[in-house]
Copies of this chain bind each other. A is one copy, B any other.
Amino acid sequence: MTARSSSETARDIPEATVARLPVYLRALTTLAEGGTRTCSSEDLAAAAGVNSAKLRKDLSYLGSYGTRGVGYDVDYLRYQIAREIGVTQDWPVVIVGIGNLGHALANYSGFRSRGFRVVALLDADPARHDEVVAGVDVRPFDDLEQIVGDQSVAIGVIATPAIAAQDVADRMVACGITSILNFAPAVIAVPDGVDVRKVDLSIELQILAYHEQRKAQSA
């Protein structure tokens, strides 16, 4: 707690836990907004929709931030998780492909409120270039290198058609982006050291359809 020594937060947290920390963070924010100062693992687990044993184990990877017999201080734990995830700092983000989805993303307020700042909206179509979305103007895709270099952007969002996704990813990687969130329904290849996460809602719907079909079948 005293010094930010190199090994203090360097424990490797299981990937499954990392994926849940943002959920806990949001649950804690909701609790804090409701005026709750302290909560037990049972309370927080219920708010986050998980098992309380799992929650405690997850939190134990960060350190011992609770008090036995009492619970967790909401604000303190919230800060600790935020610091561990890295959302106490500001992350510049570029969005490429300002079509239907790109517009929605650019207008999404949930970005900024969680430490992500949209520094540029890029599109290959010149017809888009006069537009201003959520206070940021749409610029040519070829400005990518300059913007990423000037502002040290590490995170890029792809919202182009699938056919363009690999090209966009290549350009992003080439100019230094090391984390990509891909909305295009395409598998993109990147070198080691670059993280890609994909959001594919037709896959989500198909998973639901599978289970739905099975429900109908067994009924």
Interface residues of chain A, those whose CB is within 8 Å of chain B, are: 6, 9-10, 13, 18-19, 21-23, 25-27, 47-49, 84-87, 89, 91, 93, 100-101, 103-105, 107-108, 110-111, 114-116, 154-155, 178-181, 185, 187, 189, 193, 195, 197, 199-215, 217-218
Contact = CB atoms under 8 A, between A and B. Distances in A.
Nearest to A188: B49
Nearest to A208: B179
A10 B208 contact: no
Nearest to A49: B187
A215 B108 CA distance: 27
- Return the 8 tightest CB-CB contacts between A and B, nearest first: A86-B213, A49-B187, A179-B208, A22-B206, A100-B104, A22-B203, A104-B104, A86-B209
Contact of A212 (B21, B91, B114, B201): B91
A90 to B, nearest CB: 10
Contact of A181 (B86, B100, B185, B204): B204
Given A86-B209, A179-B208, A204-B197, A47 B187 contact: yes
A178 B216 CA distance: 11
A213 B218 CA distance: 47
B91 A18 contact: no
Contact of A114 (B13, B111, B114, B202): B202
